[in-house]
Amino acid sequence: MREDIKNIILKNWPTYGNDLLFDHLGMATFSLKNKDDFELFEFHQGEERKIDHFYFDLASLTKPLTMGALALKEPSLFTNDNLLMLEHRAGIPAWAILGKSDWQGTLESFDVKKSSCVYSDLSMLKLMLILEKQTGQDFKSLCDFFWDDSLCFWKDLPEGARTPDTGFRKGSVINGEVNDDNCFKINRFCSHAGLFSTLEGLVKSLYNLEAQVSLTDSMKERFKERYKEREKSAEERRFIWGWDTVADPNNTLAGNVAPPLTFGHLGFTGTSIWIDAESSRGWVLLTNATKKFWYHRQGLAQLRKSLGEYIWKLI
């Protein structure tokens, strides 16, 4: 299997013109029911090799690693309105340019109203503020219960950490800082972006989450509940407690022929988590796909699909 995955990565490494679309990649396969059953792959500048203390910007993988995990641990916190925000069905706009000083007021101005699915960073941020008010705790302390030492908020990157370039901000290369502009401006822990991790640290965190809240069994139960909600459209049933699912198993970035109980998430910088709740097997992909050509996504999509399809066929 290892040589097959290596060949898929090298064959499908996306380019734009004469340049690599990105120059760093981490990929892992794992079984959450067996801590000894995992493989890690790291490629830098197109060659397989390991760089110690190498941290990727996880981008929107932050959402399931904060809100999604918290919902499984403390479901009582998620009232009907909170659940609508968690599942992107609260009628809140997808995105806006937030100001440094008035971002909280902007979020508070949005009313929660049941709607069709609108994938929304603002929904996650508004929900973060509500949960902090409900609990009297800062959001990070609510959701860091399962993080490995090598998964952290971007402002807490350890001394000696190496990070890939993920783009440009005001003419300067983004390196060691979060790529998301709103998260950068807010300058505090956020629920929609901002986590960084080594490849191994992310996999260990998923194992910890499985051990502490029975991630795959819990998601299996929630899939069953969702299938009973026949009155809801496919879009309304897309997100389950903060985790994305597969609408069309024959055309998905999780990899075609994905099992029916597949859940996970994507991140803008070129990151992915996908797990089959039935078999407890999954895979992650970490890249810096936004380094230069953030708008050129076709090659990244093909890489994601090729890796996923190979892994699901093994299951």
Above pLDDT 70, what percent of the chain?
A: 97
CA 140, chain centre distance (Å): 16
- The domain tally of the chain equals 1
Half-sphere exposure of 2 (CA within 13 A, CB side): 7
CA dist., res. 295 & res. 286, Å (int): 17
Closest by CA position to 34, among listed 258, 200, 203: 203
Q: pLDDT tens digit string along 16-53? A: 888 999 999 999 999 999 999 999 999 999 899 999 99
Say if CB 284 and CB 27 are below 8 A apart. yes
> Structure pTM?
0.96
CA dist., res. 63 & res. 235, Å (int): 18
CA 29, chain centre distance (Å): 16
Domain containing residue 59: CATH number: 3.40.710.10
Which residue range is the domain that position 197 belongs to?
2-314
pLDDT surpasses 70 at 234: no
The sign of the torsion formed by the CA atoms of 297, 298, 299, 305 equals positive
Q: pLDDT tens digit string along 170-184? A: 999 999 999 999 999
Sheet bearing 262-267, strands edge to edge:
47-48, 34-44, 24-31, 281-287, 271-276, 262-267, 244-245
H helical segments located in the chain? 2-12, 62-63, 69-73, 80-86, 103-108, 121-135, 139-143, 181-186, 199-213, 215-228, 298-314
Q: Is 104 helix (H, G, I), strand (E, B) or coil?
A: helix
Structure confidence at residue 294 (pLDDT): 86
Residues in a beta bridge with 286: 26
What count of other Cβ atoms lies within 10 Å of the Cβ of residue 123?
Answer: 28
